[in-house]
Amino acid sequence: DAEITQSPRHKITETGRQVTLACHQTWNHNNMFWYRQDLGHGLRLIHYSYGVQDTNKGEVSDGYSVSRSNTEDLPLTLESAASSQTSVYFCASSQTGRGDEQFFGPGTRLTVL
């Protein structure tokens, strides 16, 4: 079955390290999104992409970067992890022209010590 996966599911890292979170979808969706979820803030958009080689900044993009080299993957990189980036990260995907529903991955819990 088509799906969206994230890895790792849990990650503990140290301040200053570079961290990459993977997101992979097999629906061939053109749109992909990264959110962070923090208590009291809901889901906030970090970066998004409407297709290969396209990336856009979201509401809370500082300290994060993404690249889209193929349809299936949108990795999220924390260039120099900070304690403020401790959060649960969700990626999502959707397909233009097939309704607007975004399908979410299972999430990655990241702890920065």
Chain residues in the site for other proteins (CB under 8 A)? 30-31, 33, 35, 40-45, 48, 50, 58-59, 90, 94, 96, 100-102, 104-107
> Hey, how many other C-beta atoms are within 10 angstroms of the C-beta on 78?
21
Concatenating the DSSP letter of every residue in 39-66 gives TTTEEEEEEEEEETTEEEE-TT-TTEEE
| 70/99 with CB nearer other proteins | 99
Q: Which CB, 1 or 40, lies closer to other proteins?
A: 40
Coil, strand or helix: which one is 85? helix
Least distance from other proteins to the Cβ atom of residue 23, Å: 12
